[in-house]
Chains A and B, each alone.
Chain A
Amino acid sequence: MADVTRREFLKVTGASLAGSSLVLLGFSPTAALAEVREFKLARATETRNTCPYCAVACGVLMYSLGDRSKNARSSIFHIEGDPDHPVNRGTLCPKGAALIDFIHSPSRLTRPEYRAPGSDKWQPISWDEALGRIAKLMKEDRDANFVARTPEGLSVNRWLTTGMLAASASSNEVGYLTHKVIRSLGILSFDNQARV
């Protein structure tokens, strides 16, 4: 019993028992008396993820506050290498070690923005308005410039006046859905960073 940790000690004692009487009986947790506060990581939610930079794909452990209940917003406050990962075995490079500052970078975009033709500034726009206008612009361009057949009569069903670059830091699932959507529109100008 002398080796109980502070947490176990509190569990054992509960609120109704007087700690002091237990101390008198000799049940004192030795280390706990010197401990000012619990490690923050011990209360955190641990989530396994992968470093988003190079393709070594080091395993990382992300620690967040918030217990994932529906109305509790999690906040990641620490990231470290995953010691179980067979490739990086807990290590991270100067980029991976600073991931927490990427997540919380002041350059993170937080709301949709719009820049009008000829303007020198951004203005806020709602998601509804932005996606509505983008869909309209895309449809107008596609309907005006879609090539169903070449002058020689070949069936080609392509749309060449709008293009897209996809992100090779996005997940397989994002990449797969993006590809599916883009080809259904007939777009051929379509690459990702593998081209560079």
Chain B
Amino acid sequence: MTNHWVDIKNADVVLIMGGNAAEAHPCGFKWVTEAKAHNKARLIVVDPRFTRSASVADVYAPIRTGTDIAFLGGVIKYLLTEDKIQHEYVRSYTDLSFIVREDFAFTDGLYSGYNPEKRSYDKSTWDYEFGHDGYVKTDPTLEHPRCVYQLMKRHYARYTPEMVERVCGTPKEKFLQVCEIIGSTAPPNRAMTVMYALGWTQHSVGTQMIRAGAMMQLLLGNIGVSGGGMNALRGHSNIQGLTDLGLMSNLLTGYLTLPGEKEQEYDKYIAARAFKPLRPNQLSYWQNYNKFHVSLMKAWWGDAATRENNWAYDYLPKLDKGYDMLQTFELMSQGKMNGFICQGFNPLAAAPNKAKMTGGLAKLKFLVIMDPLATETSEFWRNYGEHNDVDPSKIQTEVFRLPTSCFAEEDGALVNSGRWLQWHWKGAEPPGEARTDLEIMGELFTRLRALYKSDGGAFPDPIVNLYWPYAVAKSPSPEELAKEYSGRALQDVTDPKNPTQVIRKAGEQLAGFAELRDDGSTLSGCWLYCGAWGPNGNLMARRDNSDPTGIGQTLNWAYSWPANRRVMYNRASCDPSGKPFNPDRKLIAWNGTAWTGADVPDYKADEDPALGMGPFIMNAEGVARFFGRGNLAEGPFPEHYEPFESPLARNPLSPAQEQTLSNPAARVFKDDRAAFGKVAEFPHVATTYRLTEHFHYWTKHVRLNAILQPEQFVEIGEGLAKEFGIASGDRVKVSSNRGFIKAVAVVTKRLRTLPADGKPVHTVGIPIHWGFTGLAKPGFLANTLTPVVGDGNSQTPEFKSFLVKVEKL
């Protein structure tokens, strides 16, 4: 989230699209209710299903799954055409005036530089035109035909209300009603918040859907303001934390990135990430990259990370490609992996195409499970009849199942979707012989280290030299680790403006990332969290819920990254002179000498606004980008592409060529492409979803939830039910080209038949919560059905749109 849960109360309009907060985030949804009750907010829900969020909305617009970019592109066109934009904001705080290279082009659904064999782009033309001074050329009149404003206007000219209806199935009048309400937040005193979740991420164009939403918000001046923002609801209790801490195949901590194998030289690795400003007097905060990186290397390799060895650069593995989950499972199913560890992750249930997953796991030499619960993955080798029809004697994988503690049995911090790091306390011991994950990882590592010390082996250096200062080596404590990721001074840290002035003594915890240095004198395992455990102790454990301004900021409750800031980009809530756009919802303001207010300023705290520094300090431009340059795989502006399993043969927005039906830059493995189904055989569109009574695949192990929703069902609309003679309570078989599930049919009015390019299409809703272990009635894993293809950037699987057929049993 750019903002946070409580801040939703400040919204004038709430758009829930690609999520269903009322059922999936009920206690957060109360802030929508609060906004409606006390701020006269209007709620819009755009969703393929008439969800419980929709049931309390002022306007509900149905949409065919996977077509959100067509819808949002239509909104962008409406805002530009009807002049519903926050002029001062977009002119000063975005790239609308930036001029783009002459050779940049977009034709028939493809951007310049496409290579159909590689299914990827040469992105060199997706860039600005630079002047002799090294800065981007701009045209403040916005009249230059190649300025971002003109390019964007041309790009979305095709996204008419008629096109939206044709692609999305949303009636034109309903679409325009939504546009009108969204457009009502263009004035500086009104704000809209956008709430989204997996309904945007789990598509082959998910990242671009989110980007399109962010562009809409920028046009309206709704980013950085109270009651506004782009708010990812997020699924797991610490999914934000694990992302911040970089537990992804391509990341280090704090959104630092692993080097590619071509980056053999340390200085070039840093230079490519320490972005120089692209406009005069911009902060471009990533210029500090080296300080963050060196402090991380000191936290990981201590004295073994020196200036002479480029801070142990050689110890970092180098990437030749992405090793995301889908790539890993592809390698596994090719028999190229031998070992795998699942720590609180149940991939047999959570990954697409269960058959592929089972085949991959069966090719492993060993599988290690660390979990509080008996997951399906841990028993992938066991026969559970038609729910898991395997022959154990043919599966040679050794499996270890290690019992772990759960949340109630450990101390530590979790990061919520609003970026709050909240400390929690242990209330009991884990059951039986179960151990904490820290004890398991600690002992596994110290055993490996002992083996490498005594026997040697392949490149032992990064293992035997790993910085391991913990009092009990086999069991590092949460406090030791929290202090380490927050950071401390290794030598006295001095004020750069006055080198005789020591601001932090050796051994002291650091107050924030501004105190990090690139000379090895500081240690911080995650720069973004620096200060969470500062000189005044563990700020994550704070519990003062007072809200002196009434705007919902509670600055002394827990700790919010970065720098305890609650609303990101809050400098953009003020006009260029530093006065709040909306004095009634003031976050910060310039008082003549400093930025002060209800939040920690997202800006240089003493920067005179007259000097023209932009509010988007992490961007080298200093402003927000409508034109995404080469940052995403598919192109600088979001373009609608159909799901990989689509009921359509051609993309109505680029009908000239077949290759633009679906994301032309998405990675698809050969066998997975062969496993895609065709509409002739699988005529119905399916989408997976969650119920309010269950959490993923956990709560079927929980008695009360298993009682509330005991049995697997699928939801079908009345149109489909009538066509196939299915009544509520009948058993049906739902098949895709990859497998089938059997479940009870629930016939509702909530899923309607929508026209897709004029042809009626039925949608089938598939709740995901059942499997072959647990207390609920045994069922089929929903991901038996889903296709293996990921978003072109994040590689998040396309679970929200695929093709099935429904048969009555």
A: which residues have CB within 8 A of B? Answer: 45, 47-59, 62, 64, 66, 73-76, 79, 81, 84-89, 91-99, 101-103, 105-120, 122, 125, 127, 130-139, 141-143, 145-146, 148, 150, 154-181, 183-196
Contacts and interface: CB of A to CB of B under 8 A. Distances in A.
B237 A194 contact: no
Interface string B704-738: 11001000000000000000000000000000000
Interface in B422-463: 422, 424-429, 431-438, 440-445, 447-448, 451-452, 455, 457-459, 462-463
Given A62-B427, A176-B485, A184-B466, A54 B261 contact: no
Given A55-B239, A174-B438, A164 B324 contact: no
Interface in B332-349: 332, 336-345, 347
Interface stretch (B185-193, B242-250, B626-634, B678-686): B242-250
Given A57-B414, A172-B241, A193 B331 contact: no
B374 A171 contact: no
A166 B345 contact: yes
Given A54-B237, A87-B416, A174-B438, A96 B525 contact: no
A179 to B, nearest CB: 5
Contact of A64 (B30, B249, B327, B428): B428
Q: Which of A101, A158, A184 has the most CB of B within 10 A?
A: A184
| Range, interface on chain B | 35 or more
A112 B414 contact: no
B448 A146 contact: no
A135 B399 contact: no
A170 B233 CA distance: 18
Given A86-B547, A95-B693, A185-B463, A143 B438 contact: no
Interface string B265-282: 000000000000000000
B403 A184 contact: no
A165 to B, nearest CB: 4
A87 B25 CA distance: 12
Given A57-B237, A101-B703, A188-B319, A165 B343 contact: yes
A58 to B, nearest CB: 5
B416 A94 contact: no
Contacts of B436: 174
A115 B399 contact: yes
14 contacts: A49-B424, A75-B428, A94-B693, A102-B699, A107-B774, A110-B403, A110-B434, A134-B368, A137-B365, A143-B458, A159-B317, A160-B336, A168-B239, A176-B526
Interface in B395-410: 395-404, 406-410
Contacts of A103: 406, 408-409, 428
A109 B434 contact: yes
B409 to A, nearest CB: 8
Given A111-B433, A172-B245, A196-B796, 19 more contacts: A49-B424, A54-B234, A54-B236, A86-B554, A101-B705, A109-B403, A115-B381, A136-B451, A160-B331, A169-B237, A173-B478, A174-B437, A178-B437, A184-B462, A189-B331, A192-B239, A193-B242, A195-B324, A195-B325
Contact of B328 (A157, A163, A175): A163
A195 B459 contact: no
B253 A157 contact: no
B452 A139 contact: yes
B356 to A, nearest CB: 15
B373 A173 contact: no
